[in-house]
Amino acid sequence: MPRKTPVAALRPPRAPGRPVAAARIDQRERMLDAALALFAERGVAATPLRAIASAAQVTPALMHYYFAGKDALVDTLLAERVGPFLAISVAPLRAPLPSPRATLRKFLETHMRNIAAHPWMPRLMAREVLSEGGTLRARVQAQFGNLLAPAVVGLISAGQRRGEIRDDLDPLLIALSLISLAVFPFAAAPVWRGAAKSVATRLPGDDELIAHTLALFDSALEKPHAKPKR
């Protein structure tokens, strides 16, 4: 009686490379990466799904398989990319230190390091949140702005009452200056780095930029020294 061939031996060998599930995850992440880059460059309204598919090196049909349309893609980006980014930045505000000033400093550093690790964020915010008619303005404001402004202004006011922060400046304007210090160098990096090449032999890196901003924070909020008498 002939011997039976084991079932395992009848199966074709698995193709080399990663499993199909891993490949699908990689494709999906490439699509999200491409969408972020193009939205930051062109804006949400001006970027069709076909352009994102081309940038991600997938077919338009595969884009529609994962995301039924642009609205679904934007929802996914907000949930999986923008939301986690914002959560990291506001974490120091949700768990304040005993010192309001120390909490502000930790928030400033955390937010800047977060932006440095995600360079698409300031460009996306400038185009889709700060610009009139930006697609993401209302949703990001609801997730981030409604916490950020009251928390930062409240910390500044508390620091002024405790004598940690100079009290001759308006808390709202201090908050605006701090956010500008944190975000503008990254949002305008292509411009200022290009212009600086004509006057500097070496451009500062992200760590130097953050250290410089924190030094400004430390000095700018000190109580002003008494003016010398003339």
**Does the pLDDT value for residue 193 go beyond 80?**
no
Residue in 192, 203, 186, 205 with CA at minimum distance from that of residue 118? 186
Residue 185: predicted pLDDT: 87
What's the chain's average pLDDT?
84
2: pLDDT confidence band, cut at 50, 70 and 90?
Answer: low
pLDDT in tens, 36-94: 999 988 888 889 999 999 999 999 999 999 998 899 999 999 899 988 998 999 999 99
Residue 155: predicted pLDDT: 95
Residue in 31, 134, 119 with CA at minimum distance from that of residue 76? 31
Residue 128: predicted pLDDT: 82
pLDDT in tens, 201-228: 788 889 999 999 999 999 888 766 545 4
pTM: 0.78
pLDDT in tens, 127-165: 888 777 777 887 777 777 677 889 999 999 999 999 999
Burial call 26-65: b when 16+ CB within 10 Å, e when fewer: ebbebbbebbbbbbbeebbeebebeebbebbebeeeebee
**Does the pLDDT value for residue 122 go beyond 90?**
no
Residue 226: predicted pLDDT: 45
Residue 8: predicted pLDDT: 43
Least confident of 4-8, 151-155, 180-184, 187-191: 4-8
DSSP letters spanning 116-149: HH-THHHHHHIIIIISTT-TTHHHHIIIIIHHHH
- Domains assigned to the chain: 20-196+207-220 (1.10.357.10)
Residue 16: predicted pLDDT: 52
Residue 20: predicted pLDDT: 56
